[in-house]
Amino acid sequence: MRLLIARCTVDYVGRLEAHLSTAMRLIMVKADGSVSVHADDRAYKPLNWMTPPCTVREEPIVDVDGNPTGEELWIVANDKGEQLRITIEETIHDTAVELGVDPGLVKDGVEAHLQELLAEHIGTLGEGFTLVRREYPTALGPVDILARDATGQTVAVEVKRRGGIDGVEQLSRYVEMLNRDELLRPVHGVYAAQEIRPQARTLAEDRGIRCVVLDYDDLRGIESRELRLF
């Protein structure tokens, strides 16, 4: 991972255009090729980013006489023709660290068990669903469950105890990545959780992701504690 703290401007060129004026920012380049630009607020969310696969080209900026100005232009581009153009005006800190292979997120017992139970009872997602595998590997991390629906189309499933917006964003990135594979696409997303927050449901539905509320006891074969008329 490379971490660069620098005064910079950032321009996004693609489906639309966006500009970040001069300010001190953190630029993060990960081993998977992703590049993200962060301010000193907004928690973990970047101001702008480019997901892999993408390339990074660094060029010195010269004046009209061809002399270096001391500034650099980073051109981060993907195969869709989108670019992040980062102009480095002043570098404060630049370091690279090899993090090695990450062991991955260890989910709490209930969430991990939810995933296991849903894989065993994949028909909970719909009639005709079949399991491909759990923890399907991608460059962005493992997809909780990869399945196929009754028509044979690929479905990526993200499993949570409480479904928030972060999980929708995560699943959106998985679906985008998997859709680049000719053997898998078209890939659809299913967000499965015991509880899905209203904002997360709205975002998911806006992105074409189906939401499924899971009953943990039902998946375990235990009769619900809720009172029933029949």
In CATH, what number is assigned to the domain containing residue 205?
Answer: 3.40.1350.10
Range of the domain at 213: 109-219
The reported pTM is: 0.53
Q: Does 8 map to a domain?
A: yes
For residues 113 and 210, membership in a common domain is answered with: yes
Provide mean pLDDT across the span 27-36. 92
Whole-Å CA distances, 125 to 5, 22, 156, 203: 45, 48, 11, 20
Q: Provide the pLDDT for residue 109.
A: 53
Residue 227 belongs to some domain of the structure: no
pLDDT of residue 99: 87
Domain end marker among 69, 96, 123 = 96
Are 142 and 119 in contact, with CB atoms under 8 Å apart? no
The Cα angle at residue 192 between residues 187 and 193, in degrees rounded to 5 = 160
Of all residues in the chain, what percent carry a pLDDT higher than 70? 93
pLDDT value, residue 224: 46
pLDDT at 225 over 50: no
HSE of 2 in the Cβ direction (CA atoms, 13 Å)? 13
Same structural domain, 214 and 113: yes
Distance from C-alpha of 14 to C-alpha of 31, rounded to nearest angstrom: 24
Is 208 part of any domain?
A: yes
Q: How far apart are CA 71 and CA 69, in angstroms?
A: 5
